[in-house]
Amino acid sequence: MSTNSDVSLTSYTEDQGSKRIQKAKEAPFVPIGMAGFAAIVAYGLYKSKSRGNTKMSVHLIHVCVAALGFVVGAMTLGIGYSMYQEFWAKPKP
């Protein structure tokens, strides 16, 4: 039995950066949702110093709801975008 040891394994040894870029091209709303979540949480923590008379727990709940709402919105847009590509944008045979 002959084995071909000259086979290049470059397709199997992709680095993590190229895998993430490929996944981001396949589903562009995932990194948008992650970035929006991080931005809203960072902004909420920044504004926690000047929250006024609002209790800290109420402020954190509002930040959490806003961040999760952004993620759910990004997921909904992503699902709608993939459905559009799959069913409507595909040329009919």
Which pLDDT does position 76 carry in this prediction?
94
**Residue that the structure tokens 């109420």 belong to:** 58
The Cα 6–Cα 20 span in angstroms is 28
Q: Domain coordinates of the chain in residue numbers?
A: 28-88
Which pLDDT does position 55 carry in this prediction?
92
DSSP type of residue 92: P
Which pLDDT does position 5 carry in this prediction?
53
Please report the sign of the dihedral spanned by the C-alpha atoms of residue 90, residue 84, residue 40, residue 65. negative
Q: What is the pTM of this model?
A: 0.69
Inter-residue contact 36 to 70 (CB < 8 Å):
yes
Give residue-wise pLDDT tens across range 3-60. 555 555 555 556 777 888 888 888 888 889 999 999 999 999 999 888 888 899 999 9
